[in-house]
Every structure is written in structure tokens, then in C-alpha cells.
Structure 1
Amino acid sequence: MVLDDVDDLGEVAGLWPAGDAGRTLVTTRRRDATLLRPGVRVIGVGVFTVDEATGYLADRLSLDPDPAAGTHELLTHRPEDVAALTAVLGRFPLALSQAAAFLIDTGMDLPSYQSLLADERESLAGLLPSSSPADEHGGTVTSTLQLALVRAESLAPPGAARAMLELISMLAPDGIPEAVLLGPAARAWLGGDHLASRGEHAERGSLPSRSNLLALRALHRLSLVTHRGPSGPAVVEVHSLVQRAVRDGVPVHHRAGIATAAADALEEVWSAPDCAPETTTALYRCAEALLAHADDHLWCDGGMHPAAPQAGAAPGRPGPPRRGTDHDDGARRPGPAATPRRTSGSAGAAGSGGPGGR
């Protein structure tokens, strides 16, 4: 028996083989404890390998979009451009399929498409649209992720899973220290600061103290993030396209609050006297990612948020700091009037920043 794309593992109750006579193959995004049972073998299916991704995209793009036209010259793509695009898309099969369809439909060259993907003023839904269907897959990258997030929200306190994923979307995809997401600053964001930044009423104390962990594990159970530990380094990993899709859905007036909350969470762990060297390295990467996504939202009347300059002083980097120490004095920076920075645990939101907020 084959059960494809099971969204609720309760639906397969009673359908597991009772003995050795039968087998059931189940595909699912879920990573619940229900799957861990005698006689069940769990096989993780991740993204394509490098060779699989480049081979798939090259094969799709080599197909003639107009075979009825007879012999004619096809658009050729350089192998290095194919490899670069697969890397940008994180070798995510669904994204590669939609990207290939988009490129074939539009006739766009790979460098131009990659430039659009790098521009966060462009929405991911527009660059991987439903009009460019994936291989026998009815959903798009963004719609698939939204459905998973809705399910994750049902497994965590109200609003906590989405608020947690918003924080994660601002940080490094390849390893966020667990302490950043489970500390008081992140808890304040989940506990009401995310509502205050949207201009909504926040009821303090309505979420349990373990809300951070419940939200994080809900995202893990739906494969939106991977929460590693306690057997290894306690880190959280996430696909960059998941982050991009989440950032695309954040209203302009809400972005400053997320950026400040993420910076508060980084600063909180960074300032701890027992911060381990490997944690510090991960914090540098997270701070760099935050700077890339926060625009001017980390500025206030007193200058830049304390976590931001750390990104420019990563150990082992040749040359001077890149961004943080270039702007030590907030008063020298042209642009909108700065507003006071929110401190960890407060309900206020940081002021809005540059044009577009991205």
C-alpha cells in the first residue's frame, strides 16, 4: 500500500501492516514521534545533490520548447550559470522545476533570472509562479510552504510558530544557535512583541514559558526547519527559500520589529560570558545575514544596534570590518529620522527604515 503526501499521521492509524505479509510506503513532510515505531524505517529525502540538481536543470533547459518549428538554434546556457542557479535555489527540486518552466516560458537567460532572484524587491511568488507548473506538482514553492506553516501553527501556541519562523528568516540558514531562539528576547517576541509591531493588541503572559521550544519543534515536525540536538551541536537549519518566502510575506510596517527582535536575541547570547567559540562563529554568520536583510531597521538615535557591528569584525576576515564599523555614528547617516531601539522584553517596535523596507 502506498500513501502519498500524508499531512496528518493520524489518518494512517490502523493502516500499518499487522504482520510480515504486507508493507506500507508513506510519504510525508511530518517528522513526528508517531513514525518512530518497531518495524518502521524512516528515510529522509532532502534536496538534490549538486550533480542531480545541475543535471536536472540542464536537461530541462535543453528541451526544445517549439519542436514544430523544425530545425532552429536553441538557447544555450553555460554550465557555470546552471551551477550558479542551482546553488541560489538551494538545489530544492520543486523550485528547480518551477524555475525551469519560468525560464522556458519567458526565454530569459540564467544570469538575468539569477539577478531577479537576488533582488528582494521581487517576490518569490512572481519568480516561481503558478503559471509555471512544476513536474506533475499542483502547488508552488510559496503555496506549499504556506500550507506547511498553517499546519505547524496548529501544533504550537497561537501565533508562536509564525513569529518564530519570522525570526529565523532573518538569520543564517546554515546554523542558528539554539540559544538565540530559546532565550528571553525571542520569548518576548513570541509573547506579544510581534503583535505590537503589527499594531495589534498583545496580551502579556498568554503564552507558556516553553512557547519557544513548542514553536521550534512544530516547525521541525513540518520540515520547515531542522532542529539539531541534543546529540550534536544545538543549532537550527533552514532552507534559504523558506526564509525568502517568509520575508516576502511580512508587511512593511512589521519588518523593523522582526529585525530588532532578531538583533536583541543575537546580542543576548553574544554578551553571555560562557559563549563558546563555535557559537560565536555561528553568531557572526547570523549577524551578517541580519545586516543583509534588515536595511536601515537596526538604526536608532544612538547609532546602530550593538549586534550589528559584530558582523564586520568576524575573526579571520582580511581587511577592515565591512558594514558594522562603517556606520558608528547614527547621526551621520542620511535618511528618515531615527527612533529609539526596543530593548528585550518591551512591547514597542523599532522605527521604520529605508524605502520599501527590504
Structure 2
Amino acid sequence: MEMKSILKTSKRVGILKVGESRSTQSSSIGAVRWTLPEEDVQTHSSAPSRPASNLPKNSQQHPRKNSLKDLRSLQECVQFIHHWKKQVDQVCKRLKETPWASESEQTEEEDADEEAQQRIMVWAQELQKATESCGVQSDELGKVLRLLGLKKKRLVNLLPLLEFITWSLLKEDNMKMIPQLWLLAKQRTWKAGIPRYIPNSVWSWICSASTDVLLDPTTNHPWLLLSENQRMVQEGISASDLPYSSQRFDSWPCVLGCKGYSSGRHYWEVDIANKGYWRVGLTTADSKRHGRFPMTPKLGYWALWRSTSQFYACTKPETSLPISLIPRRMGIYLDYEEGQLSFYNTKTKSHIYTFTENFSGTLYPLFAPLDGRTHITIQNTNTEG
């Protein structure tokens, strides 16, 4: 049997190897070890197996130092996670039987291990749900992962979760910072047009930035009708007689949010009824409002555009997105300092597209129902009441 290990400093949670007494564990280093079936053990450049004893000394590889960097290979990480869940019950059972050196140390270790076990079980349950949503049954997961090259399309939604779990294990930062760091790093590199599942802890962190958005009646095009609570907009059957405002759109059927953002994180959700035409995104306080013009980042607009047969990010040239990514309810997330505006399908918790920009000035939510069939309704997701 080949042993795989992740070494962690004393600041991180340590779990004892099944069958290993606590006296063999260093006071400063905790090891998590899992036994993999021999047929699953493979040699990787980032994690070489032990050289055979019958080889000449000069042909043996130098042993590598134990480090958090030993598990860089995605394939090895996937194998680790696959066998990780099977070992949880044994670990939990063994921990209850482990003798402790002192009562105070026992309490501290039990609390840490309980936290680790809970995190493991949450991840395992989430992994199972995400796997099934991809059309992969739980008993197929190991086989599919080993055939990753052939099954890649089936795992496209699942891989971000696998990456997040292994990234969390190997990252030395505070656990509370991992969702933020992971999201910022991944969204900058994700290619457009591929749905990416957002792990639950990352999704919770996104939603923690929820803000209440209301529509500004001084900006809406005369053809647009706003609801009394200023949360729904649709195209009317005729133009309304509205007072003049320099901020009012006179050609594009658009309306802005009342409140602008010049710093911080902000998240809101919109329901988009029917299969009509629409644009949703952000614009600057001083962007053009009058006449017809391309709504692109160069002119201070960052938005997604949808028609009955097309779906685009309004870049120049336009970035085509698959029709399958069009959401029924869409989440919009702004991280001003990091320069990211992201769009998500809230039902599937998947990433649609991210604009990256060095924002300046105040930004306002933008809503544009482009035909009479489209109703855009802002949901109240503000957790602060």
C-alpha cells in the first residue's frame, strides 16, 4: 500500500492516522494519512513514489522534504478526496477511543478535530450533490475521475469544487479568508462560456455582500414602467410624460439603481421573466445617457445582453456565451477594489461571466428590458434587514 499525506503546521487542524497512537505525533506537526489502493497509486512529477531498493543509488531520486506543496497534482488531489470520504467514519470512531495526555489538551484537540470532521462531512455532502447534478452517480465518481481526460465535459461543473477543497487543504491562510482568495484567483482565469460551480462556502461569502437595490425614477426611459415599490421594470404600451432629468435615458430603454457604489463588495439578484430581450449590469455616474451607442466597457458600461437566440457579454468585440447559461434568476456581484463584476446563475450556483476593470468613480446597477415581454424584478437579498 502507498501512503499519501498532507502535512500541516500546529496552527491548522490535525487528525491522527487510524491505528496510530498519539505519542508518535509531533507536537508541532500533524499528519493526515490515507491509504490508497495500489491500482490507484500513480507516479507524478510533483509527487514521486518511493524508489525501489534494488536500483543503483545514483538512479534513485532524492527524497523530497515533507511540505504542503507535495500535492500539487490535480489527479493526486482528486484521488485523495475520493478516498477521504470513505475514511471519515473510521477517523471519527478512532478519535473517540484515543487516550489523551491531559484533560485540558483533550478538550482542545476534540474541539479542533470536531471542527475538521464537520468540515469534511459538509464538503463530502456537497461533493455528492454536485456530482449528481452533473449526471454522475456516486458509485461512478471514482471511475470518472480516473478517466478524467475522457470524461472532462461531464465534470466541468464539478472541478471547481474539487479544486476548492484541495486548495483549502493546502492553503496556509486563515480558513475564513479562503473563499475570498479562491474566488478572486479563479474568476480572473476562468474562460467565458463554461459554467463553473461555486462551492457553498464561497457562495455564502458572496451573498454576505447583499445590498438592497431600488430603481431610480429619475433615470428610466419614458417607455419603461416602474412598480410602486421600485423593484420591477417592464416596457409599457406607450411613452409616459415624465419630468426632464439629465440622467434619464432617451433612446435605450434603461433604468438605473438609486444607490451608487464607489467602494466595497455588493451583491444583488434579479428575476428575469419570459424569453425576451434584456441587458443587466453596471454603468458609471457620468456615462452617456442620450442617443444610441454601444454599451461597452470603453463607454462605461459592463453588462450582459440577451435576445431570443443570442447571449453576449457586451465587450468589444462581443463575447458570445452559450444560450444554456441564460439564468431565470441572476446574481450580480461587484468587488470594487478587486475590479471584478461577476454574474451567476443563482439556481445552480454557477458562474456565468466576469468583467475585470480598474473601476473609478461611482457605479450604478443597470436594468434594460428591451421588449414588451420582459419583466425584470429585483429581489431583496439584504441580510441586514
TM-score between both structures, scaled by the size of structure 1: 0.26
**Which of the pair is proportionally richer in helix?**
1
**Which of the pair is proportionally richer in strand?**
2
Q: Which has the larger radius of gyration?
A: 2
